[in-house]
Amino acid sequence: MERLIIALQKSGRLREGSLELLKECGLKTDYRDGQLKIVTSDYPAELLFLRNSDIPQYVSDGVVDLGIVGSNLLEEDETPVEIIQALNFSQCRLSFAVPKASGIQTAEDLQGKRIATSYPNSVRKYLQQQGITAEIHPISGSVEIAPSLDLSDAIADIVSTGNTLFQNNLREIFPFLYSEAVLIKGPDLAPEKQVLLDQLLFRIQSVLAGNENKYILLNAPKEKLSTICKILPGMKSPTILPLAVEGWISIHSVVKKKEVWQVVQQLKSEGAEGILVCPIEKMVS
pLDDT at 34: 76
Q: CATH 3.40.190.10 spans which residues of the chain?
A: 4-91+181-189, 92-178
pLDDT at 77: 87
Residues 192 and 152: their CA atoms lie apart, in Å, by 51
Q: CATH 3.30.70.120 spans which residues of the chain?
A: 213-279
Counting as low any pLDDT under 50, the low residues of the chain are none
What DSSP element (H or E) covers 83? strand 82-86
Fold of the CATH domain 92-178: D-Maltodextrin-Binding Protein; domain 2 (3.40.190)
Distances (CA, A) of 128 to 112, 113, 125, 133, 203: 13, 14, 5, 7, 41
CATH class of 213-279: alpha beta
pLDDT at 235: 60
pTM as predicted: 0.85
pLDDT at 40: 87
pLDDT at 234: 60
Domain 4-91+181-189 in CATH 3.40.190.10? The answer is: yes
Segment 73-118, tens digit of pLDDT: 999 988 899 999 999 999 999 999 999 999 999 999 999 999 999 9
